[in-house]
Amino acid sequence: MTDSVVFSLLYKYPMSGSKQRNVDLFGATSIVVANMIGTGVFTSLGYQLFDIQSGFGIVMIWLVGGLLALCGAFCYAELATRLPEDGGEYYFLSKIYHPALGFVAGFVSSTVGFAAPIAGASIALGAYVHGVWPGVNETALAIIIITLISAIHWWNARLGIDFQKGSTVLKVSMILLFIGAGFALGNQPVDFLPSAQGWKEIFGDASANGGSSSFFGLGNLVAPAFATSLIWVSFAYSGWNASTYIAGSIENPNRNLSRSILMGTLTVTGLYVLLNMVLMKSTAVQNLVGVKEVGLVAAEALLGTNIGKLMGGIISLLLVSTISSMVFTGPRVLAKMFETIPSMQGLSKREADGNPRRAIVVQLVVSLILLFVMDFPQLIYYIAFTLSLFTMLTVLGMMILRFREGKPNGYRAWGYPVTPVLFLLTTGAVAMFFVKDKPTESLYGLSTAAVGFVFYFLSKRK
């Protein structure tokens, strides 16, 4: 890099600045979109196809997941507009319930909500690149990517958000290009209209098993296979609340917070449904079952081996945007949380432009640790279950705040109280099913929350 280029970068992105609310509506929306479109949609289908193989069943899973995410988004948009500070669930639950619960939410967000997905996305990225260039070491590449992106955000907050905008535009553009190619070239006879097989995959055959497929409190509404697939989908949709974690950095939060959440969630829902339709139209179902890098397999089937590998490489680059958005967002939760712990306040220090450099380093270390201690499916189940518990508490908290203080003056959740109740019932049912179906990962998640409680009381005592 020449001296003139270095000088121009330093001029545009100085090491410090004076403006803390430096994220506009487009930047906030790109954070939401990039957080959502990542590991989940590029890996979930292969695992869903173990039990659900009709086009209608797959589309319904993604539509239901989008509906639930939108119900949650309505609630978070009201809460974030009402309490526009960094921290997400940490800040919300501290204000609504108790600082202890808020601290645990922050602890879970920083580990399960950001560090673990960063590790998961880097694993998926390594798998895609390895599929294109078999000689690449997946783990080494994951380490390099996480470290490099953390360094970009560590250098300067403005540079980080500009990098985020650019990578998100590239991501959405390439997905739209892939969707267009898929509908033009895909020739698999997949029926996305309602069918007997599709309905059976969704609701099961209760009459044949005497109700043994009961989905806990929701009776026989859905089959266990559909519930398990919904876990993968809920992970893929996680991130619809991303801009609430950086509310203190967003310009005009009363206007931009709710818009960023709703615009991002609606955009991603549409892309998810279309993308999964294209993946199923690209190649025979048996070629996708159990495959992690489904995008690469689909691209090779549609475009041929050479161009398909190129597209697989591009998809791996798209995951860079996902990692970047979480590297930008997660440290702001950590910094907010560290402010309340006297012995760790040094880690909450921010630069003049609001950039929490020390927290970025902490998150980098945690992400690298998780990269080595969990395999990919474990990470996904662990993340999906644990985060669902705290999103439920937050949506319930929005209802409690409404009861205490009345309707807000700004944005109000659409469909209240139906949308929050629907979100709570469905997410709760999935969580209960998860405890039964995936006890090990459930225990990991509950243990993480328990460690957060212990850490809080020990810190408070000190």
Separation between Cα atoms, residue 247 and residue 252, nearest integer Å = 10
pLDDT at position 51, please? 79
pLDDT at position 97, please? 93
Residue in the structure block whose two tokens are 């179902």: 285
pLDDT at position 297, please? 84
pLDDT at position 193, please? 84
Superfamily of domain 21-461: Amino acid/polyamine transporter I (1.20.1740.10)
pLDDT at position 393, please? 93
pLDDT at position 159, please? 66
User: Domain residues of the chain, as ranges?
Assistant: 21-461
Per-residue pLDDT of the chain (462 residues; tens, 9 = 90+): 433 333 233 334 343 443 466 678 888 888 888 778 876 677 778 878 887 888 888 898 899 889 988 899 889 888 888 888 777 788 889 899 998 898 888 888 777 778 888 888 888 788 778 877 888 888 888 889 889 988 888 887 666 667 767 777 887 888 888 889 888 888 888 888 887 877 887 776 643 444 434 444 443 456 677 777 777 787 788 778 878 777 777 888 878 888 888 898 899 999 999 999 998 898 888 888 877 778 788 888 888 877 777 777 777 777 777 788 788 878 887 787 777 777 667 767 777 767 788 888 888 998 888 888 766 666 677 777 888 888 999 999 999 999 998 888 878 888 899 999 999 988 888 788 778 877 887 888 888 888 888 888 877 655
Enumerate the β-bridge partners of residue 451. none
pTM for this model (two decimals) = 0.73
Within 13 Å of residue 241, how many CA atoms lie on the same side as its CB? 36
